[in-house]
Amino acid sequence: MSTLAGSSQPTRPTIAWVGLGIMGSPMSENLIKAGYQVTGFTLEQEKLDRLAAAGGSAAGSIAEAVRDADVVITMVPASPQVEAIAYGPDGILENARSGALLIDMSSITPQTSVDLAKAAKDKGIRVLDAPVSGGEAGAIEAVLSIMVGGERADFDEAKPIFDALGKTIVLCGPHGSGQTVKAANQLIVAVNIQACAEAVVFLEKSGVDLAAALDVLNGGLAGSTVLTRKKDNFLNRDFKPGFRIDLHHKDMGIVTDAARNVGAALPVGAVVAQLVASLRAQGDGGLDHSALLRAVERLSGAQL
């Protein structure tokens, strides 16, 4: 593999990974399996221990993690966290070397990505926004969909890294475009989960064999990746978080704000955004987004 710009070694680029949560941990481990040298930083010691056990290196600070890295990858919950780790004297931009490539895989506002790219350019650091879809299972299985915004040359350089993390990898346009596409993705997923949840309650109250019904529905036009991935959650009422309601609430705020800014009406999306917000207000923010089923059950008079 040819090295990244600025590196003198014709080897795989060294990677700093910041943010080792539900998605970040398995993704960083997949890079290690693919032969990359990964140094990670996060606030939880047990997650640093997990990275070390997988063959990575644990850093004591962001500065330590990024100082000698060819590529810095971030995966944190939202725009405020991206800004916290990127800016300031202890942040990425002040401590990464000139010529490094910063790949932010968090799901944040498009404007945050645009602003980050501008600030990084002043430091000689290149940026891609590269949010993902596929949830925890997709991260573990390295089959994520990765939607990227930025320069074509930087995308081409990062493509081998993306190939170790996902299966559908597309450059969507300039900086911020990846985040815009991710916002649309989250709109589709939320509406799909809500529709599935309503169908589940309707089917059960009608006395239909739910497992059989979901199988046949998933084999036709009503089938979807959402139904495939979340069918067992619905059947077993298992809402262990793969993607938390709290995060989907954040994402629905991003898509509704972004749509308002460009003059796009989202009538169904606006309703589902309120349903997500309602579920969160009822104390279910830490559950998987398939827990939208609980909200439909409450509205239908079910005893939870």
Q: Are residues 157 and 79 in the same domain?
A: yes
Q: In the predicted model, what is the mean pLDDT of residues 92-117? A: 97
Tell me: the pLDDT tens digits for 119-142? 999 999 999 999 999 989 999 999
- State whether 225 and 250 are in the same domain: yes
Tell me the two tokens of residue 287: 């559950």
DSSP letters for 37-62: -EEEE-S-HHHHHHHHHTT-EE-SSH
Q: Name the domain boundary from 113, 146, 175.
A: 175
| H or E segment and range at residue 101 | strand 101-104
Catalytic residue among 47, 182, 230, 250: 182
Work out the burial of residue 123: count CB atoms within 10 Å of its CB; fewer than 13 is exposed, 13-18 middle, 19 or more buried: middle
Q: Are residues 138 and 19 in the same domain?
A: yes
Q: Which pLDDT score is estimated for 2? A: 41
Is 171 among the domain residues? Answer: yes
pLDDT band for 10, please (50, 70, 90 cuts): low
**CATH number of the domain that 117 lies in?**
3.40.50.720
Question: Does a structural domain hold residue 21?
Answer: yes
| pLDDT > 70: percent of the chain | 96
The model carries a pTM of 0.90
Instruction: Report residue 166 as tokens.
Output: 């996902």
118 is catalytic: no
Query: The CATH number of the domain where 274 resides is what?
Result: 1.10.1040.10
Span 144-161, average pLDDT: 98
Residue 192, domain extent: 181-299
54-69: pLDDT as tens digits? 999 999 999 999 999 9
Query: Is 186 within a domain?
Result: yes
| Domain shared by 196 and 125, yes or no | no
- Spatial CB neighbours of 194, under 8 Å, sequence gap ≥ 6: 272, 275, 292, 296
In a domain, 155, yes or no: yes
Total structural domains within the chain: 2
Instruction: Give residue-wise pLDDT tens across range 240-291.
Output: 998 999 999 999 999 999 999 999 999 999 999 999 999 999 999 999 999 9
- pLDDT tops 80 at residue 192: yes
Strand partners, 17: 40, 73
Residue among 224, 236, 238, 168 at smallest CA distance from 194: 224
Radius of gyration of the chain (CA): 20
| 199 shares a domain with 144 | no
